[in-house]
Amino acid sequence: MATTKRTLQCLLSRVCRETRRTYGVLPQPPPHNSSSSSSSSSSQHLINLEYEYSAHNYHPVPIVFSQAKGSSIWDPEGNKYLDFLSAYSAVNQGHCHPRIMKALHDQAQKLTLSSRAFYNDRFPVFAERLTDMFGYDMVLPMNTGAEGVETALKLARKWGYERKKIPNDEAIIISCCGCFHGRTLAVISMSCDNEATKGFGPLLPGHLKVDFGDEVLLEKIFKDQGERIAGFLFEPIQGEAGPTSLFDNGRKVFCTTLGWLMGREKLLLSPLKVVIPPDGYLKAVRDLCSKYNILMIADEIQTGLARTGKMLACDWEQVRPDVVILGKALGGGVIPVSAVLADKDVMLCIRPGEHGSTFGGNPLASAVAIASLDVIKEEGLAERSDRLGQELRHQLLKVQQQFPDIIKEVRGRGLFNAVEFKSKTLSPVSAYDICLKLKDRGVLAKPTHDTIVRLTPPLSMSSDELQEGSKALGEVLELDLPKMKKAKPEKLSSTASTTCDRCGRNLYGSSD
Ligand SMILES: Cc1ncc(COP(=O)(O)O)c(C=O)c1O
């Protein structure tokens, strides 16, 4: 008992440490207009304008999108780039897909909004198409991904009280360490990301955390608290905020207090961003959720709709969750559309007046979503993503062989991929710096934390374009990195580890 108390005190002192995450370069005011680049439509002017008049809640790579088609982007100066982010997988079908644009234009001429106070002639068709495609009884339409997650959480709680008979106000949702489900208060209440949570308290109660990929720990929590657990929310592959390391200064670090106290010895998963769980994990989750009468809730907002090489990432293990949340590519990169899918016994727990959204299910979004689904299906984007993903990883592995001291790992499924650098050999350069150089070579990719570059191009990208991405990465490492290392003072290095305030895990440091 004394040991347990000491362990808890130690954990508390660890989690109280003041820590901070950066992306290598802190947001800086852009340089003042120079006379040569200050026309009202120039990139620099637009960046300055945004910096002046918009909240600084992002730290974008300095490129201004002005036009896009397929996988190509043009800035206001007419420079062309290849998109290796796809707006966080919202543009799976490629930018401005003609069929989706036609649906948008046609519908925009006729009817854009009814509100759900009335019926419209597009939403019922969309609802039937979507539920049919994914094999669920019903859909609840929303707009953004975070709204979809909120909806699923409310649905799970309601089901928990009505069907499972959880005592009033005692329902618990279990989520995973390193999860990312959006930015609303309920959603950040499940986050391990200090930047997402610090200064936004009090967070919502009723959440418990478990290590992603660890079915043994999951069953322990289900066994201990199962009567009160309404749902288990997870991403089938963690995209954004997965833990960097399960080790901290050579010592094993666990996400949950429970995991830590249990002294579990198993290495749980690939300890990196774009985290793929061990084979069989999704099946185990399905079995456990059924056994303990807990809703299995898959956040497929990013992994769904063909991104990982299947329509849903859960399809990799032929698992059917009780609730599926979709978003991003459902709107074809055109309009925000999210949706929660479930069967009637779950969905009908929500009744008129209990949940909704003015724009959810609007006819314009519904028409766009129907076209977006048609494109994914008819262009075989899931198979394409699987095939191109293998090509891309093959190319990236060759780059890794060329730079084994710099690239730690290449991983992914379908066109959901990440390149992880070794922090010690990359430092003082960061993944953000690498992305700046990729941009200079015409490739737009996203840094995730200090040492990871995510590569998630539109699923319509050609093999040649794909190759340009890996070629550019090789050139950056060969030609730009040595110069960057020389130019960047050591003190700007930002690869220091950061500890999650909530679970104590080393979040952003690297274990290489
Ligand atoms: C898995 C997952 N869930 C939810 C969200 C939130 O979606 P949105 O930004 O549309 O609110 C995201 C966004 O990146 C996501 O990746």
pLDDT tens sequence across 443-464: 999 898 789 999 999 999 999 9
Which of ligand 1's atoms lies nearest the C-alpha of 325?
3
List the catalytic residues. Answer: 180, 299, 328
Tell me, using a 6 A CB cutoff, whether residue 235 lines ligand 1. Answer: yes
Interval between CA 69 and ligand 1 midpoint (Å): 23
Tell me, using a 6 A CB cutoff, whether residue 239 lines ligand 1. Answer: yes
pLDDT confidence of residue 507: 57
- β-pairing, 72-74 vs 207-210, is unpaired
Interacting residues of 78 by C-beta distance below 8 A, sequence separation 6+: none
Q: How far, in Å, CA of 235 to CA of 328, rounded? A: 14
Out of 58, 86, 88, mutate this one to test ligand 1's pocket (max ligand atoms within 8 Å of CB): namely 88
Q: What tokens appear for 194 in the block?
A: 């200090």
Q: How far, in Å, CA of 396 to CA of 459, rounded? A: 17
The answer to whether the CB of 510 falls within 8 A of the CB of 423 is: yes
Tell me, using a 6 A CB cutoff, whether residue 447 lines ligand 1. Answer: no
Position 240 confidence tier, pLDDT thresholds 50, 70, 90: confident
Position 13 confidence tier, pLDDT thresholds 50, 70, 90: very low
Interval between CA 411 and ligand 1 midpoint (Å): 21
- Residue boundaries of the structural domains of the chain: 2-95+381-492, 169-378
pLDDT of 275 strictly over 70? yes
Report the candidate in 509, 494, 504 with the shortest Cα–Cα distance to residue 253: 504
Position 353 confidence tier, pLDDT thresholds 50, 70, 90: very high
> How many other CB atoms are found less than 10 A from the CB of residue 40?
8
Q: How far, in Å, CA of 178 to CA of 234, rounded? A: 10
pLDDT confidence of residue 38: 63
Interval between CA 75 and ligand 1 midpoint (Å): 26
Position 37 confidence tier, pLDDT thresholds 50, 70, 90: low
Look at 215-219, 313-317, 449-453 and tell me which has the smallest mean pLDDT: 449-453
pLDDT confidence of residue 252: 35
**Strand runs labelled E in 333-479:** 338-342, 407-413, 416-421, 443-444, 446-448, 452-455
Interval between CA 317 and ligand 1 midpoint (Å): 23
Interacting residues of 223 by C-beta distance below 8 A, sequence separation 6+: 292
pLDDT confidence of residue 501: 65
DSSP secondary structure letter of residue 348:
T
Which of ligand 1's atoms lies nearest the C-alpha of 182?
6
**Each residue of 183-208: pLDDT tens digit?**
999 999 998 888 889 999 999 999 99
Q: In which residue are the tokens 């059917």 written?
A: 320
pLDDT confidence of residue 7: 37
> How many other CB atoms are found less than 10 A from the CB of residue 291?
12
Interval between CA 301 and ligand 1 midpoint (Å): 6
Arithmetic mean of pLDDT over the chain:
87
Ligand 1, atom 2: closest residue by C-alpha: 181
SS3 85: coil
DSSP secondary structure letter of residue 491:
G
The answer to whether the CB of 8 falls within 8 A of the CB of 257 is: yes
Ligand 1, atom 13: closest residue by C-alpha: 182
Interval between CA 133 and ligand 1 midpoint (Å): 22
Q: How far, in Å, CA of 407 to CA of 474, rounded? A: 11
Averaged pLDDT, 125-148: 98
pLDDT confidence of residue 108: 98
Report the candidate in 94, 188, 148, 85 with the shortest Cα–Cα distance to residue 326: 148
Exposure letters 6-38 (e unless 16+ CB within 10 A, then b): eeeeebeebbeeebebbbbeeeeebeeeeeeee
pLDDT of 87 strictly over 70? yes
Tell me, using a 6 A CB cutoff, whether residue 301 lines ligand 1. Answer: yes
Position 398 confidence tier, pLDDT thresholds 50, 70, 90: very high
pLDDT confidence of residue 417: 96
Tell me, using a 6 A CB cutoff, whether residue 180 lines ligand 1. Answer: yes
Could you tell me the fold of the domain covering 169-378?
Answer: Aspartate Aminotransferase; domain 2 (3.40.640)
pLDDT confidence of residue 504: 65
What single letter denotes the amino acid at residue 44? Q
Report the candidate in 291, 295, 160, 273 with the shortest Cα–Cα distance to residue 212: 273
Phi, psi of 354 (to 5 degrees): -90, -20
Q: What is the distance in angstroms between the CA of the first residue and the CA of the last residue of the chain?
A: 35
pLDDT of 241 strictly over 90? no
**Strand runs labelled E in 285-369:** 295-299, 323-326, 338-342
The answer to whether the CB of 307 falls within 8 A of the CB of 416 is: yes
Which of ligand 1's atoms lies nearest the C-alpha of 328?
10
Which of ligand 1's atoms lies nearest the C-alpha of 144?
10
The edge-to-edge listing of strands for the beta sheet with 229-234 is: 138-142, 338-342, 323-326, 295-299, 229-234, 172-176, 207-210
Which of ligand 1's atoms lies nearest the C-alpha of 184?
11
Interval between CA 190 and ligand 1 midpoint (Å): 13
Position 506 confidence tier, pLDDT thresholds 50, 70, 90: low
> How many other CB atoms are found less than 10 A from the CB of residue 174?
22
Q: Does the structural domain 2-95+381-492 have CATH classification 3.90.1150.10? A: yes
Interval between CA 1 and ligand 1 midpoint (Å): 41
Which of ligand 1's atoms lies nearest the C-alpha of 235?
1
Out of 302, 335, 340, 456, mutate this one to test ligand 1's pocket (max ligand atoms within 8 Å of CB): namely 302
Q: How far, in Å, CA of 256 to CA of 216, rounded? A: 13
Tell me, using a 6 A CB cutoff, whether residue 144 lines ligand 1. Answer: yes
Q: In which residue are the tokens 């992306």 written?
A: 23
SS3 138: strand
The answer to whether the CB of 429 falls within 8 A of the CB of 422 is: no
Tell me, using a 6 A CB cutoff, whether residue 341 lines ligand 1. Answer: no
pLDDT of 466 strictly over 90? yes
Ligand 1, atom 3: closest residue by C-alpha: 181
Phi, psi of 352 (to 5 degrees): -50, 135
Q: What tokens appear for 187 in the block?
A: 């959603």
